[in-house]
Structure 1
């Protein structure tokens, strides 16, 4: 075969190797674009109808300011630096409460899931505390810890604790018992069972608990920042409500929604990365 023929053959083989990869990459990008476009239809329609009804004075501009007024209020808050300053404080509070409550919830969930005696000793008390609403316990937190950062972070941590506790417990108890028989055959000790079998098998439930805990942390942040706070997105909303600055209140709601969906998307990304081995129903 001539040199030219060899070059043509090599180019053809290279094209065949890369074609499936490029095609697969294109398909994934197309799926992501379609997913984003499909998810944007309803919000865009609502915003358009909302703007039209507001411009026509069919709905109250005080109670439901138009999307353009809300956007202008957000731009003003960004320009003055007020939004960024309060957002930093809120993010630190939410993450601090989530890390504290979530880590404790995971630790207690693992202990209760692994040991029946621990379950009998701790679970009834934990379930009783879980039923106490945030608003009911907030005055006690103020009385015990004052109106400083400790009370706010602990209130957020209380909410973040229970989803991870419950999901870690359920995930561990849901591990297939037949897998334990395999580990006995392989002569795994207790520690190796926990690290190599129990925790990986419970990881889907644990990550679900992380998603729920993050959401609850943002919800708890609103309650926490109404407890005599002088900074934060919740305080910004409360202050705006007192002076009838409804667009600012909607900006605060939008901030909570955006950061809530971003944190949830981050955990879902970790799920796809760490749980790619699972074969499950994806929906039609």
Structure 2
């Protein structure tokens, strides 16, 4: 009896196994980055990769640590975050307004969607010369570039999310006596959230891409300026520090959005990889 009491039940063992799998998968996902880092460091040290072109990653880490210690990195990083935040707020806000008008109203669709569809064919980064004429080369140029990069993925995902809602659900809500505002709150908004989060993730990535370009045009601060200044002095390790900062910012913002999405869309169950 004592042996049976101390032995874990079959149900408990089955419950414990799935809990351990995510941890194993998490460590397994680190395998490829670690291998690449080791290969990079080794190849640079033995001379396979020329150090002036691609220094060892340990040198890149030391350069980043040096910039962090003297406060240079923090100063430029805060300026980049301020530009990205302002551009995101403007681009997302404008996309939410115009996307909702075009998605919910027939008149809005006729008036708003055609010019947006035409404008999206123009790569926004190619508009830099025109934007310099319009808004100058100051902070407005950087914020405008980020806002343009953010707007299109956000608008099109919101528009598609609204239009993909099953019309029978809207009719059922109308039959139950729900008014227009209540239908939007209880039917349209929940049905649009998956597309909305996807748009946010794409928009955030576009924001960092636009910021890279914007900060290389007549600026005196920001991670892009730090990289351009390092290029003038052939400091490849500092250029790589800037690239890593941009990559980490993009990864961190995406992880935050995915975490918020999981908490918000707890009712959704998607396909799990096997």
Global fold match (TM > 0.5): yes
> Deviation at 1:25?
8.8
Distance 1:138 1:24, change over 3 A: farther
Match of 2:202 in 1: 212
Please give the secondary structure, in 1, of the residue aligned with 2:30. Answer: helix
| Matches of 1:32 and 1:227, distance apart in 2 | 44
CA offset at residue 118 of structure 1?
1.3
Greater C-alpha radius of gyration = 1
Is the Cα contact below 8 Å between 1:142 and 1:227 reproduced in 2?
no
Measure the CA separation in 2 of the matches of 1:281 and 1:26.
20
In the TM superposition, 1:151-190 aligns within 5 A as 151-190=141-180
Residue of structure 2 aligned with 1:86, choices 62, 65, 76: 76
Which residue of structure 2 aligns with residue 51 of structure 1? 41
- 1:85 positional shift: 0.5
1:196 to 167, 186, 190: 186
Q: RMSD between aligned alpha carbons?
A: 2.0
Whether contact under 8 Å (1:168, 1:205) holds in the other structure is yes
Q: 2:53 aligns with which of 55, 63, 79?
A: 63
Runs of 4+ off more than 4 Å: 23-28
Q: Which of residues 99, 107, 112 in structure 1 aligns to 2:89?
A: 99
TM-score normalised by the chain length of structure 1: 0.89
Alignment of 1:14-53 (within 5 A): 27-28=18-19, 30-53=20-43
User: Alpha-carbon deviations, 1:170-196, whole Å to 9, x = none?
Assistant: 000000122112102211111111111
State the 1:148 CA deviation: 1.5
**Cα shift at 1:88:** 0.5
Q: Indicate how the Cα distance of structure 1 residues 25 and 241 shifts in structure 2: closer, same or farther if over 3 A, else same.
A: farther
Choose which of 254, 268, 271 in structure 2 pairs with 1:278.
Answer: 268
Q: 1: distance between equivalents of 2:243 and 2:25?
A: 24
Which structure 2 segments of 5+ residues have no match?
Answer: none
SS, match of residue 271 in structure 2: coil
Could you say what secondary structure the match of 2:217 adopts? coil
Specify the alignment match of 2:218 in structure 1: 228
Query: Given the alignment of the two structures, is residue 75 of structure 1 paired with residue 79 of structure 2, yes or no?
Result: no
- Secondary structure in 2 matching 1:276: coil
